[in-house]
Amino acid sequence: MREWKTRAEEPERIAAERATTEATLRGIGVKTARLVEAITSGGGEVKPLVAEIKRLEREQADLLARLEHLDGLDLAREEFDLGTWLGEVKEALADLQATLEGTPQAGRQIIRRLLDGPVTVTPRTTEAGGLVFDYSGSGRYDVALAGVVVPSGQARRINKNNVGVRPGD
């Protein structure tokens, strides 16, 4: 759901960045016009004025590229479909579950990649006299869903789970 929240907040961030970029571009236009006016009126040393115009043109090109990137982000956001996204996540997790349950060797390899650190196992006795093992650890969903939902490197935490075992099992 973190992915969905990020995508929901993205339009505001993109709009703010677009407004800042457009304002900066307008400022560059004004500065460039003043420099051109200074050159044509003979009001100063030409070389430094031309150098500044070239620097402003490079900055303008960078900002225009940034606006094009923001347009692409807007387009990707508009094409995002929650139902499709959830279907992809469900399919990826089902594939993972099938692999974990179907082939023990492959399952162990996957679990090694999913774990961020050690798993702590704590035995305890229930009121009914049964033996229960609490285990906890942290893991990464991005490995399980690589290329489907979560960009590489963004970890998610797996919470504590309980497994019960009856005496004599």
Q: What is the 3-state secondary structure (H, E, C) of the chain?
A: CHHHHHHHHHHHHHHHHHHHHHHHHHHHHHHHHHHHHHHHCCCCCHHHHHHHHHHHHHHHHHHHHHHHHHHHHHHHHHHCCHHHHHHHHHHHHHHHHHHHHHCHHHHHHHHHHHECCCCEEEEEECCCCCEEEEEECCECHHHHCCCCCCCCCCCCCCCCEEEEECCCC
Q: Which of 51, 80, 109 is the last residue of a domain?
A: 80
Q: Are residues 76 and 18 in the same domain?
A: yes
Q: Does one domain contain both 57 and 105?
A: no
Given 27, 48, 80, which residue is the final one in a domain? 80
Mean pLDDT of 20-27: 95
Is the same domain home to 87 and 158? yes
Q: Report which listed range, 89-93, 157-161, 165-169, is most confident.
A: 89-93
Which domain does 154 fall in, by range?
83-165
Question: Rounded to two decimals, what is the model's pTM?
Answer: 0.46
Question: Is the separation of the CB atoms in 167 and 129 below 8 Å?
Answer: yes
Total domain count, the chain:
2
- pLDDT in the model for residue 43: 67
pLDDT band at 11 (very low <50, low <70, confident <90, very high): confident
User: Averaged over 116-123, what is the pLDDT?
Assistant: 89
Do 126 and 132 contact (CB within 8 A), yes or no? yes
**Same domain assignment for residues 34 and 88:** no
pLDDT of residue 115: 82
75 shares its domain with 99 = no
Question: Which residue, of 80, 109, 133, is where some domain finishes?
Answer: 80
What's the confidence (pLDDT) of residue 169?
Answer: 35
Q: Are residues 75 and 16 in the same domain?
A: yes
Reply yes or no on whether the pLDDT at 57 is more than 90.
yes
Asked if 148 and 99 sit in the same domain, the reply is: yes
Would the pLDDT of 113 be above 70? yes
